[in-house]
A and B are shown apart, each in its own frame.
Chain A
Amino acid sequence: MKQIAIYGKGGIGKSTISANVAAALGERGLNTWYIGCDPKADGSMTLLGGRKIETFLERLRSSPGENRPAYVEGFNGVKCIETGGPIAGVGCAGRGIIVAVQELYKRYFADNIDVIIYDVPGDVVCGGFAAPLREKFANEVYIVTSGEYLSLYAANNIVRGLENLRVNLGGLICNSREIRNEERIVSEFARKIGSHMISFIPRDPIVRECENRGKTVIEGAPESSQASAYRRLADAILKNSDLRIPKPIDPEEIRALLRENE
């Protein structure tokens, strides 16, 4: 079983990539689970035709003993779970993720699962947001970044978390913002932290159009070149054996890298 976690700066496109990779894996007939760890519970919507589902924690709260399946089946048979969490300004979202991930692992995850994808909010912050990185939950991490300074800076910060927690990085996914020399920048940054760029996802308005229709690109525009890009990424993740604990670099090095490629 591959258990992967997707991290990256807020707004960089983690959920779009996670959902499209899940859809591509489902298309190959793999038993794929998408676990959205954002309290907003909106990551799986494109797999579910734009629908919002009852969250795992909400169910745990209203009917703790219940054992009906925890997931809602989405496009291509992808099993979707949103952990959910407190509303803004109340309770502790980090704790929510810990409880949800532990319960899912204990009660629902079985050996016949091929891939579990954890779509984790933002950077690694507290112990709760890092929960999917614990060794028994995720065994490889992918960081989504672009060639912009702030997303590379956030990526570097996540790398610091991975190094600290001794978790393997599977690679960087460049979600293009159409920066000049972007592919080179991200590849070079990946090399500096002791990893590699596993995929370059071009920017394409089709993503937004599909999202507006509540669909992944794999579903909404299956013949598009963008869909092919997500399929290639899914394949690369499946085949990836280049897993390493990364090393963060000095943010000044990031700036220097960007200046060289201006």
Chain B
Amino acid sequence: MTDVLHPRPSPIIAAMYTLRDLDVDVIVMHGPPGCGFTASRLLEEAGVTVVTTGMQENDLIFGAEQRLVEVLKKVDEEFSPKLVGVVGTCASMIIGENLDAAIKKAGIRSTVLPIDIHACAGPNTVGAIKVLEVAASKGIIPNEEFERQKEMLMRATALERERGMTSKPYLKPHRGATKLKVAKRIIEYLSQNKRIAVVLNAKKETAYRFADVMRAIEYARRRIGGYVVYVANTDPNIGLPRIRRYSMDILRDLREAGVTVDYLSGGLDEYPVAGERAAKYLEDKGIDLRVLCGLPHAIPDLRVEDILVTDQPRELRNFIDSGFTFAVGEISTHSMLMGARGIVNSELGDTIRELVDEVQT
């Protein structure tokens, strides 16, 4: 395995996001106040209450079980939550804090999921798997759903290792091609009446923004002409209830924008396999230009002429260095989607619309 030098997301943060996907009311971070701070703020914007036990030096030495017990009691009093997740951190897990015991001692009314995880535990997906495992053991999700998601998460890890951001020891951030260059290319194909395929292969909430590329291209098609096939991994019948809601929101907004999805390639948690299905579906469609949004590297046999739309600057570096000159970035996508319940405009989408409007007027 390659030793990766650039920063990677940690299992702790993946655990927090997975708890959010399970619709927990409160996440208790059992650790020093700064642990998971950036993610906590974002998650609070998505409606999850995140609190910390605020461990200090003395708690490392003497143990912080009592702190956790008290915070849980306070959480119960203050928020009367139904479902609570207690997430370990490096500090608490290295000293062997017993989350289970503290939860029992607190004896609160809500269901509490103890997530024994820390950043040294491995790839970020380990944290997500841990949450799902605990949720299955407490009957929050069926065991088959746990197994399905675990399989997806393991495939996601393998995908990152093979073609993604852990495939190279160091990737220097890159902002990708300009939106203008990419938008012009799309409009050029439409005006030549060529066949475009837009594939949304996105991970959970990021789909709220990547789906806008579909809306913009449809907007352009209606004014300029051309032929477009739409493929999206927004199957509303797959995944946790929250993730299904995302799919329903997106399908509703696409419908309103006049986009008919020709093929549903899977659920929003299935991007490691949905990309393969999308590519297969498009095989015999005589497509001239593919616009691949979200996690394009999950689509097999990328071609240098493909348009790749993604959000991570290091992912962009990976694409640009591999010769994909039409790789374009929707930077900071994640942070602007917290709490979203509908498609959010993308920079590429806005550029396409603006160009089309200029041509029209």
Segment from A123-131, A138-146, A178-186, A200-208 that makes contact with B: A123-131
Chain A proximity of B229: nearest CB distance (Å): 42
Say yes or no for A1: interface residue by CB 8 A criterion: no
The tally of residues in B whose CB lies under 8 Å from a CB in A reads 8
Asked if A98 CB lies within 8 Å of chain B CBs, one says yes
Inter-subunit contact A166/B101 (CB<8 Å):
yes
Chain A residues within an 8 Å CB radius of B205: none
CB-nearest residue of chain A to B95: A127
Q: With CB as the reference atom, state the residue of chain A lying closest to B96.
A: A127
Q: Mark A89-129, 1 if CB is under 8 A from B, else 0.
A: 00010110010000000000000000000000000001110
Checking A92, A94, A95, A134 against B98 with a beta-carbon cut-off of 8 angstroms, the contacting residue is A134
The reply on A150 being an interface residue by CB < 8 A is no
Chain B residues with CB under 8 A of A130: 96
Residues of B within 8 A of A128 (CB): 95-96
Residue of A95, A127, A135, A166 with most chain B CB atoms under a 10 A cut-off: A127
Q: Does A238 make an interface contact (CB < 8 A)?
A: no
Please tell me if B94 contacts chain A, counting CB pairs below 8 Å. Answer: yes
How far, in angstroms, from A94 to B100 measured CA to CA in the complex?
19
**Residues of the B chain whose Cβ atoms lie less than 8 Å from the Cβ of A92:** 94
A165 at the binding interface (Cβ < 8 Å): yes
Least CB distance, B358 to chain A, in whole angstroms: 57
List residues of B (247-267) whose CB comes within 8 Å of A's CBs: none
Expressed in whole angstroms, the Cα–Cα distance for A134 and B100 within the complex equals 9
Mask, B89-101, CB within 8 Å of A = 1, is: 0000011111011
With CB as the reference atom, state the residue of chain A lying closest to B92: A127
Q: When the two chains form the complex, which single residue of A126, A135, A166 contacts B96, counting CB atoms closer than 8 Å?
A: A126
Q: How far is the CB of A63 from chain B (nearest CB, A)?
A: 13
| Interface status of B225 (Cβ within 8 A of chain A) | no
Please name all residues of chain A whose beta carbon is closer than 8 Å to the beta carbon of B96 when the two chains form the complex.
94-95, 98, 126-128, 130-131
> What mask results when residues 21 to 64 of chain B are scored 1 for a CB within 8 Å of chain A, else 0?
00000000000000000000000000000000000000000010
Give B207 Cβ to nearest chain A Cβ, in Å.
34
What is the interface of chain B mostly: helix, strand, loop, or mixed?
loop
Label chain A's interface by main secondary structure: loop
Task: Count residues of A near B (Cβ-Cβ below 8 Å).
Answer: 13
A165 touching B101 by the CB < 8 A rule?
yes
Q: Indicate with 1 or 0, residue by residue over B51-85, a CB within 8 angstroms of chain A CB atoms.
A: 00000000000010000000000000000000000
**A131: B residues at CB distance < 8 A:** 96
A94 to B97, CA, bound (A): 12
Docked complex Cα distance between A112 and B97 (Å):
30
Is there contact, CB below 8 Å, between B101 and A127? no
Task: Give A166 to B105 CA distance when docked, in angstroms.
Answer: 11
Q: Is the CB of A165 within 8 A of B98?
A: yes
Whole-angstrom distance between the alpha carbons of A236 and B161 in the complex? Answer: 54
Chain A residues whose C-beta falls within 8 Å of the C-beta of B63 in the assembled complex:
127
Which residues does chain B contribute within 8 Å of A126, judged by CB atoms? 95-96
Contacts of B94 in A (CB 8 A): 92, 95
- Provide the bound-state CA to CA distance between A131 and B100, in Å: 13
Interface hits, B84-119 → A, CB 8 Å: 94-98, 100-101
B95 to chain A, nearest CB (A): 5
- Can you name the residue of chain B whose Cβ is closest to the Cβ of A134? B98
Q: Please, which residues of chain B bring their CB within 8 A of the CB of A135?
A: 100
- In the complex, per-residue mask of A127-171: 1 if CB is within 8 Å of any chain B CB, else 0: 110110011000000000000000000000000000001100000
Q: Report the minimal beta-carbon distance from A22 to chain B, rounded to whole angstroms.
A: 26
B7 to chain A, nearest CB (A): 22
Q: Given the complex of chains A and B, what is the CA–CA distance between A95 and B98 in angstroms?
A: 13
Q: What distance in Å separates the Cβ of A127 from its nearest Cβ neighbour in chain B?
A: 2
Inter-chain CA distance A166–B102, complex, in Å, is 12
> Within the assembled complex, what's the spacing in Å between the Cα atoms of A142 and B106?
28
Cα–Cα, bound, A165→B94 (Å):
18
Which A residue's beta carbon lies closest to that of B116? A102
Chain A contacts with B in 5-58, Cβ cutoff 8 A:
none
The CA of A93 and the CA of B96, in the complex, are separated in Å by: 12
A172 to chain B, nearest CB (A): 24
Known: A127-B96, A165-B101, A166-B101. 4 other contacts (CB 8 A): A127-B97, A128-B96, A130-B96, A134-B98
Q: Which residues of A contact B (CB under 8 A)?
A: 92, 94-95, 98, 126-128, 130-131, 134-135, 165-166
23 residue pairs of the A-B complex, CB under 8 angstroms, read A92-B94, A94-B95, A94-B96, A95-B94, A95-B96, A98-B96, A126-B95, A126-B96, A127-B63, A127-B95, A127-B96, A127-B97, A127-B98, A128-B95, A128-B96, A130-B96, A131-B96, A134-B98, A134-B100, A135-B100, A165-B98, A165-B101, A166-B101
Q: Which 5 A-B pairs give the minimum distances between C-beta atoms?
A: A127-B96, A128-B96, A127-B95, A98-B96, A95-B94
